[in-house]
Structure 1
Amino acid sequence: MPEVSSIAPVGVIVLLAIVAGLVAFRLSERSQRRTSPDQAPALPVDDDMAGVLAALRSTTILLAADDEVLRASASAHALGLLRHGRLTHASIADLVAEARREGGVREVAMTVPRGPGIGSGHLSLDVRVAALSGSRVLVLADDRTAARRLDEVRRDFVANVSHELKTPVGAIALLAETIGDAAGDPDAVRRFSEQMGRESRRLSELVQDIIDLSRLQEPDALLNSAAVDLDAVVAESVDRARVEARARDVGIAVGGRQGLKVFGDHALLVTALRNLLDNALRYSDRGTRVSIGVDTADDGMVEIAVVDQGVGISADELPRVFERFYRIDPARSRETGGTGLGLSIVKHVAADHGGEVRVWSTPGRGSTFTLRIPVADRPPGEGPGDEPPDEVRIIPR
């Protein structure tokens, strides 16, 4: 019995040692799994790397071995590429996993949702993913959404222009052929010649509008801005529209303040106001009047309002009147020779001058288009409003 009791404590000690060894082995195995080469602890982001990442124009995201974000540019959050500290899009996460697994650099153009909601739009991105040391991965993304949207707009514009050019060109060719067949009928030749002249003028106006619109889209459209006298702009615009107004039996009245100036391009402002006048004349009935009023607003803007007594515009169509080639009444536009680009040009001119164009209209009561441009700063004693309002001037028909 004494021998048995002396052996028992030794057995307990051996058993405890075995259990402790097993526990230590398990802990060691888990530690090795966590620190395997593929999952090595990420190296810290030193100052040099942080400086390089900050200098890059691309959106940058530096990920640790477990895809934890070590560093990210503000644009990564603004574009929605990161949420709650993790990559948002599975397509980018898959690219990161592939680069980490196989090494090297991956470069892919992709389209991803702009946000989690339905109808939130999409982003067009050029994404580059590079595997770094310490299982880190660098993600670089360049937002190409605006550039690709511009390409789409240009393609649509070219397609629309091609369609619009076909109409007058085809009509001229057909009329020329018809005139040849009707050589023995002077009345028919005269009638077809007049139609050919109208189509030729329409074609010329369309080409000029395309040239004007192309000029406005150049980055240096207002490179040589100067103080522009609005009295001269109004006078020249009215003078150019005088023949059209007489042909349509529509009067033009000019009133408002004189002596106002804005910074910009005289020729472009004349083009914009002339387009507003042409639009008003086309949609005015014979015997009515188109009015031009110039004034200043409390927010430091000069307002040039063109008011007609025409057919008016419905509320559903108002948001689209400044779209390229959009016509409220296509049949009337064909009859009057409108190109569908005039109001789009006005919108571009206003935007390039730091202003805007507004429209008010009610069917049957006419329309008012208001061109708003920032007033030019003037010396004390010569500010806007010092001159008395000009009397209304009626331009003879």
Structure 2
Amino acid sequence: MTKTLVSIALWALGGWLLGAWLGAATGWAVFALGLLAMVLASGLQLSRIARWVRNIDDPPPPSIGPWDEVLAPIYRKLKQNRLDLQERSRNFQRALLAAEALPDGALTLAPDKSLLWCNQTAADHLGLDQGQDRGHSILNIIRAPEFARYARQDSWDKPLILHLNRGGQTRTLMLHLAPYGVGQFLMVTRDITQIERLENTRKDFVANVSHEMRTPLTVLSGFVETLLDLPEEAISAEQRRHYLELMAQQAHNMQALVADLLTLSSLETTPNGPGTPVPVPALIRTALTQCQALSKGQHRFEVRVDDTLQVIGQDSELSSALSNLLTNAVRYTPAGGTITVTWERRPDGGARYQVRDTGIGIAPDDIPRLTERFFRVDRGRSRATGGTGLGLAITKHVVLRHQAALDIASTPGAGSAFSIVFPAARVGAAAVRAADPEGHAA
């Protein structure tokens, strides 16, 4: 504005000087021409400003006279606002990426509890399609009466445990609603299916251990009370010895149970190391010696062992697995039966350890449950022979830790075949005969 007034004043002064020299008409003509030039210049400047407004993100045009002082602060403010908007957009995108990376699901709901947004985890948990479900009430999306009652509450101090069946599979979710913003709601979902399964397994495990310990403890307690209550002359030395032998047997059963529990716990919690070459043939022969003693000559053993095959792994774990399969064969094979032990190389370079018996066999429905803790096909027979019900569970863990597979085939009344199949990467050859100086096998 000041520049404009100064320009008008200069043109007026010039017109007055020329008017004093050349006449008033000339002075006014010069003044009029000056004002016209200023109007034309201002129009040109306004035209350039109009073109800039249509592309306002570009810098304003230079040298536009008095408009420079007006447009410069406007442009600086627009530029700062644009930078602030970009930073907020980046922060928003970072927040969305962080929400997508959450291990839990997150949903935002409108005041009427219609879906505004959810991350991919929540979509997976609840089977949502963001394109189709956005704007629809969450009560129509999650059709469960317990969720409807939970969502219609005024406050949510505790989460809701919800069991949803999708695709034939039941998933357990923990949902928690919380108000935020102005009348909006945030819902967090967490998949606790595995946690619930582990908790149920823990409860079953504790119940099974308690049940397994109750029988020997009851026997021990009963005999101890009998020996304490009866006078010495009331029972003979033979009866007393018989009672003590039964007590010792029950104590041994509890020791075996505790030992197997400790082994199973160690397998589940100990990191799996790289392993060392294990002489499997030697482990098999040791297990055979123990099982032949358990058999007491009642069974016929056939053994086919490749002495050149060894496995990379943990010898104590493999010894337990090999022995468990042999022990089970002895326990479940009637007297006079045959137990066949095979350790051989497979065509694919792997190796197979197999124990085949002519025992009572296993029903097809029971085979998938054999590796469950404390599961027994014949509880009475297993207890009578001192089984803990943990042998195959231990074997399964050992097999998994050695990247092997446990195969079970059985026909009721015709026997069973338990096989541990090791991959080729775990199998090596061991020299069992020394080489002579000529390089030939001795």
Fold agreement, TM-score > 0.5: yes
CA deviation vs aligned residue, 1:40-85 (integer Å, no higher than 9, x gap): xxx9993122232133222233456773453422x33332342443
Residue 59 in 1 paired to residue 108 in 2? no
Q: Tell me the amino acid that sits aligned with residue 196 of structure 1.
A: M
Matching residue of 2:221: 173
Aligned to 1:28: none
Of 287, 299, 306, 1:250 maps to 299
Structure 1 pair 109–229 and aligned structure 2 pair: CA distance change class (3 A): farther
2:321 to 267, 272, 291: 272
Matches within 5 A, 1:195-214: 195-214=246-265
Alignment of 1:233 onto 2:233: no
2:339 alignment partner, one of 287, 290, 293: 290
Letter in 2 for 1:110: I
Q: Specify whether residues 240 and 208 from structure 1 end up closer, same or farther in structure 2 by C-alpha distance, changes over 3 A only.
A: same
Q: 1:186–1:71: structure 2 CA closer, same or farther, 3 Å change rule?
A: closer
Q: Which whole-Å deviations, capped at 9, do the CAs of 1:278-316 have from their partners, x for residues lacking one?
A: 111111222333221123445664321111121212223
2:119 aligned residue: 72
Which of 340, 357, 362 lines up with 1:308 in the alignment? 357
1:266, 1:63 → 2: CA distance?
58
Alpha carbons 2:287, 2:323 under 8 Å: kept? yes
Deviates more, 1:224-233 or 1:161-170: 224-233
Alpha-carbon deviation of 1:126? 4.7
Superposed CA deviations along residues 136-161 of structure 1, whole A, max 9, x for unmatched, are: 65433221221122112111111111
Is 1:326 aligned to 2:365, yes or no? Answer: no
- 1:163 has 2:211 as partner: yes
| 1:250 CA drift (Å) | 2.4
Highest Rg: 1 or 2? 2
1:331 and 1:341, CA in 2 relative to 1: closer, same or farther beyond 3 A?
same
In the alignment, what sits opposite 1:131? 180
Equivalent residues of 2:171, 2:191 under 8 A apart: no
Can you give the 5+ residue segments of structure 1 that lack an aligned partner in the other structure? 1-42, 389-397
In the alignment, is residue 112 of structure 1 matched against residue 163 of structure 2?
yes
**1:94 Cα deviation from its structure 2 partner:** 7.5
Closer, same or farther in 2 for the Cα pair 1:154/1:57, shift >3 Å? same
- Is 1:89 the counterpart of 2:142? The answer is yes
Note if 1:191 corresponds to 2:247: no
Name the structure 2 match of 1:14: none
Contact 2:291-2:326 at 8 Å conserved across structures? yes
Structure 1 residue 222 corresponds to structure 2 residue 272: yes
Distance (whole Å) between structure 1 residues aligned to residue 311 and residue 108 of structure 2: 49
Identical pairs, percent: 29
Once the 2 structures are TM-superposed, how far is the Cα of residue 224 of structure 1 from its aligned partner?
5.5
1:262 maps to 311
**For 1:127, what is the secondary structure of its paired residue?**
strand
Deviations 1:304-349 (Å, cap 9, x if unpaired)?
1111121212223323322222222222122212122212221222
User: TM-score, normalised on structure 1?
Assistant: 0.72
The whole-number CA distance in structure 1 between the counterparts of 2:354 and 2:251 is: 31
Distance 1:131 1:300 in 2: 62
**DSSP-derived class of the 2:308 partner:** coil
User: Retained in 2: the 8 A contact 1:111–1:124?
Assistant: yes
Normalised to the residue count of structure 2, the TM-score between the two structures is: 0.65
Which structure's residues are more often helix, by fraction? 2
Q: Per the alignment, do residues 148 and 92 of structure 1 end up closer, same or farther by CA in structure 2, a change over 3 Å counting?
A: same
CA distance in 2, matches of 1:176, 1:244: 28
Counterparts of 1:173 and 1:377, CA distance in 2: 48
CA 1:127/1:273 → structure 2, altered by over 3 Å: closer, same or farther?
Answer: farther
Task: For 2:98, give the aligned amino acid.
Answer: V
* Paired residue secondary structure (1:121): strand
d(CA) in 1 for partners of 2:177, 2:432: 62
The CA distance in 2 between the partners of 1:300 and 1:107, in whole Å, is: 57
Which consecutive unaligned segments of at least 5 residues does structure 2 have?
1-87, 434-442
Distance in 1, matches of 2:206 and 2:159, equals 29
Secondary structure in structure 1 of the residue aligned to 2:98: helix
Three-state SS of the structure 1 residue aligned to 2:343 is strand
CA contact (8 A) 2:147 2:162 kept: no
Task: Indicate conservation of the 8 Å contact 1:305/1:371, yes or no.
Answer: yes
Deviation readout 1:117-147 (Å, 9 max, x if unpaired): 7x642413253545247x6654332212211
SS of the equivalent of 1:46 reads helix
Partner of 1:21: none
| Contact 2:253–2:388, Cα closer than 8 Å, also in 1 | yes
Cα gap change, 1:126/1:296 in structure 2, threshold over 3 Å: closer, same or farther?
Answer: farther
Rate the CA distance shift 1:230–1:375 in 2: closer, same or farther, 3 A.
Answer: farther
Is the Cα–Cα contact under 8 Å of residues 179 and 193 in structure 1 kept in the other structure? no
Q: Find the counterpart in structure 2 of residue 10 from structure 1.
A: none
Residues in 2 aligned to 1:359 and 1:278: alpha-carbon distance in whole angstroms? 15
Report the Cα distance in structure 2 between the residues aligned to 1:80 and 1:294, rounded to whole angstroms. 50
Amino acid at match of 1:78: D
